C-alpha cells in the first residue's frame, strides 16, 4: 500500500474539492494577508506554501465552544446541550509535527471521563499532511523523534515536487480518500521517488539536533536555577506561546449569562495568565512570571513525561517564532544542557 502517487496541481485541487464534498475542510488560508488555519468554504482558498501562524489544534479543540445553552421560561429553567460535533473534518496541510501534537492531546481527552466533543471530531477526521521541505529556523522536530516527512499519525502525506505533489496513502482511510481522484493520479516513477528522497534528506539536514533527553534529565535539579528568572524577566506574560502551541490544551469553562438566558462555554486558557491559578481566596500559588514560565517548560518536559510517558512538545517552534520578546525554547534547551 505504501505507494507514492503523483498529482498535478489540477489533480490536487480536484482532490481537495472532492474532500470538501464529504468533509468540513480545515486548512491554511490567507485572510487579509495572513495565513491561518481555518475552516474553508472554497477549496481554492487553501494555501500550502506558508506555514500558518496558528496550529490546527482548534479544529478539534475550538478556542470557544458552546457546551450548553440555558434560559428561564416562567418558573422553569430550560437547558439545551450543545449539538454533537457536526460533519467529519478533513485537515489539509497539517504538518507532521502537528499530527504528532494531536497524538499528545489524545490521551488527555480520551482518558476518563472521555471528552466526546474532542474524541468524536478526532475519530472521524482525515489528516492530509504536508511534508516540510524547508523547515523554519525555529523548528526542531528531529530532536523529538519526528521528522519533516514523518507520516506517523497522518492518513495521507503530500510532498511538493517539481510539477505538482506526490501523495502517500498512509492509512486505509487515506487510501480511500485518494481513490476518489484515482484516474487523475499516476504512480510515481523512479525519478520522482528519488526527488522525494532528496528533499527529505535536505530537510532533515537543515535541522540541528538538540539533546532533549539530557535537557529533561537536567530539569530534575534545575528548579531553582537563575535561568528561569533571566527568562521571566523579559516575559510579558501574554498567551501567544500557549495559544499558538499545538500541544497546549488548557481550557476554562465559564457561564455567559444575560438576565433570562445564557450559555456555558469552554474557552482556551493559558498558564501564562495570572488568573489561571488565582484562587477564590485571593491567593495565587504562581504569583510571578517566573513561576509561570517555569511551569510551562516543566509541564511539557517533565510532568507530561511522568503522566503519559511522552514529551509534551513536538518542536514546531511557534512559541519562539512569535514571542514578542524572543523567549526561544531551542535556546533554553541548549542553555540548560550546556550549564
Partner 1 sequence: MIDEGRMREVARDLLASGEVDCVIGYARGSVWYRARPVAISDPDKVDMLIFNPFCMQNLATWLKFEMKENGGLQGKYGVVAKGCTARALIQMMQENGISTDDVYTIGVPCPGMVDPRKLGDDVLAMEDARVTLAGERVVVEGERRKVFSRDDVLHETCLLCRYPTPPLYDVLIGEGIEGRPAEDKNLAHLESLPAEERAKYWEDAFSRCIRCYACRNACPLCYCDGCALECLDPQWVYRSVEVSENTLYHLIRAYHLTGRCVECGSCEFSCPADVPLMELNRKMARDVERMFNYVPGMDPKAKPLLGAYDPRDPEGFIL
Please report, in angstroms and rounded to a whole number, the separation of the first and last CA atoms in the chain. Answer: 48
Position 67 contacts partner 1 (CB under 8 A): no
Position 254 contacts partner 1 (CB under 8 A): yes
Among 275, 282, 283, 338, binds partner 1 (CB under 8 A): 275
Q: Would you state the cell numbers that stand for residue 76, as one nine-digit string?
A: 422553569
Among 7, 14, 27, 54, binds partner 1 (CB under 8 A): 54
Position 270 contacts partner 1 (CB under 8 A): yes
Kindly tell me which of 83 and 326 has the beta carbon lying closer to partner 1: 326
Minimum distance from CB of 34 to partner 1 (Å)? 5
The count of other CB atoms within 10 Å of the CB of residue 182 is 10
Position 41 contacts partner 1 (CB under 8 A): no
Among 67, 116, 217, 267, binds partner 1 (CB under 8 A): 267
State how far the Cα of 226 lies from the Cα of 211, in Å rounded to an integer.
21
Position 268 contacts partner 1 (CB under 8 A): yes
Residues 294 and 223 sit within 8 Å (Cβ to Cβ): yes
Q: In the range 71-130, which residues lie near partner 1 by CB under 8 A?
A: none
- According to DSSP, the β-strands at 24-31 and 89-94 are parallel
State how far the Cα of 250 lies from the Cα of 219, in Å rounded to an integer.
22
Q: In the range 190-249, which residues lie near partner 1 by CB under 8 A?
A: 233-234, 236-240, 243-244
The strand pairing partners of 28, in sequence order, are: 37
Q: Would you state the cell numbers that stand for residue 329, as one nine-digit string?
A: 525554547
Among 13, 17, 45, 53, binds partner 1 (CB under 8 A): 53
Kindly tell me which of 123 and 230 has the beta carbon lying closer to partner 1: 230
State how far the Cα of 67 lies from the Cα of 116, in Å rounded to an integer.
11
Judged by CB under 8 A, the stretch of 2-10, 109-117, 182-190, 328-336 that binds partner 1 is 328-336
The three-class DSSP label of residue 228 is helix
Among 22, 107, 324, 339, binds partner 1 (CB under 8 A): 324
**Pattern 1-40, partner 1, x by CB under 8 A:** ------------------------------xxxx-x----
- According to DSSP, the β-strands at 164-169 and 76-81 are unpaired
Position 339 contacts partner 1 (CB under 8 A): no
For the chain, the 3-state helix, strand and coil shares in percent, each to the nearest 5, are: 40, 20, 40
Among 41, 187, 325, 339, binds partner 1 (CB under 8 A): 325
Residues 274 and 263 sit within 8 Å (Cβ to Cβ): no
Kindly tell me which of 31 and 186 has the beta carbon lying closer to partner 1: 31
Query: How far is CA 110 from each of CA 50, 114, 258, 270, rounded to the nearest angstrom?
Result: 32, 5, 33, 21
The count of other CB atoms within 10 Å of the CB of residue 289 is 19
Among 10, 39, 123, 137, binds partner 1 (CB under 8 A): 137
Strands across the sheet with 4-7, in order? 34-40, 24-31, 89-94, 126-130, 156-161, 164-169, 4-7, 186-187
State how far the Cα of 229 lies from the Cα of 60, in Å rounded to an integer.
35
Kindly tell me which of 307 and 325 has the beta carbon lying closer to partner 1: 325
Residues at the contact surface with partner 1, assessed by CB under 8 A: 31-34, 36, 53-54, 63-64, 137, 233-234, 236-240, 243-244, 252, 254, 256, 265, 267-268, 270, 273-275, 287-289, 320, 322, 324-326, 328, 330-331
Amino acid at each position: 500500500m505504501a505507494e507514492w502517487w503523483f498529482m498535478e496541481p489540477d489533480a490536487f485541487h480536484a482532490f481537495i474539492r472532492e474532500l470538501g464534498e464529504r468533509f468540513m475542510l480545515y486548512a491554511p488560508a490567507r485572510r487579509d494577508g495572513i495565513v491561518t488555519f481555518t475552516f474553508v468554504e472554497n477549496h481554492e482558498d487553501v494555501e500550502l506554501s506558508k506555514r500558518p501562524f496558528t496550529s490546527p489544534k482548534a479544529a478539534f479543540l475550538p478556542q470557544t465552544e458552546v457546551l450548553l445553552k440555558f434560559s428561564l421560561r416562567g418558573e422553569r429553567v430550560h437547558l439545551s446541550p450543545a449539538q454533537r460535533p457536526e460533519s467529519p473534518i478533513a485537515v489539509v496541510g497539517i504538518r507532521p509535527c502537528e499530527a504528532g501534537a494531536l497524538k499528545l492531546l489524545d490521551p488527555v481527552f480520551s482518558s476518563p471521563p472521555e471528552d466526546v466533543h474532542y474524541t468524536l471530531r478526532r475519530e472521524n477526521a482525515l489528516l492530509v499532511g504536508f511534508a516540510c521541505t524547508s523547515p523554519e529556523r525555529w523548528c526542531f522536530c528531529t530532536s523529538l523523534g519526528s521528522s519533516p516527512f514523518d507520516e506517523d499519525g497522518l492518513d495521507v502525506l503530500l510532498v511538493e515536487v517539481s510539477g505538482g505533489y506526490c501523495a502517500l496513502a498512509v492509512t486505509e482511510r487515506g487510501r480511500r480518500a485518494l481513490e476518489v481522484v484515482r484516474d487523475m493520479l499516476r504512480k510515481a516513477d523512479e525519478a520522482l521517488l528519488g526527488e522525494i528522497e532528496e528533499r527529505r534528506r535536505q530537510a532533515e539536514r537543515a535541522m540541528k539536533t538538540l539533546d532533549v533527553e539530557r535537557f529533561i534529565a537536567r530539569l530534575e535539579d534545575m528548579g531553582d536555577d537563575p535561568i528561569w528568572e533571566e527568562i521571566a524577566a523579559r516575559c510579558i506574560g501574554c498567551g501567544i506561546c500557549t495559544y499558538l502551541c499545538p500541544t497546549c490544551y488548557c481550557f476554562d469553562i465559564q457561564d455567559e449569562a444575560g438576565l433570562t438566558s445564557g450559555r456555558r462555554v469552554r474557552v482556551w486558557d493559558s498558564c501564562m495568565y495570572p488568573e489561571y491559578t488565582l484562587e477564590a481566596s485571593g491567593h495565587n500559588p504562581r504569583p510571578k512570571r517566573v513561576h509561570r514560565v517555569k511551569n510551562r517548560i516543566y509541564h511539557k518536559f517533565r510532568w507530561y513525561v511522568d503522566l503519559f510517558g511522552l514529551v509534551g512538545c513536538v518542536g514546531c517552534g511557534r512559541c519562539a517564532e512569535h514571542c514578542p520578546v524572543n523567549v526561544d525554547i531551542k535556546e533554553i534547551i541548549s542553555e540548560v544542557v550546556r550549564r
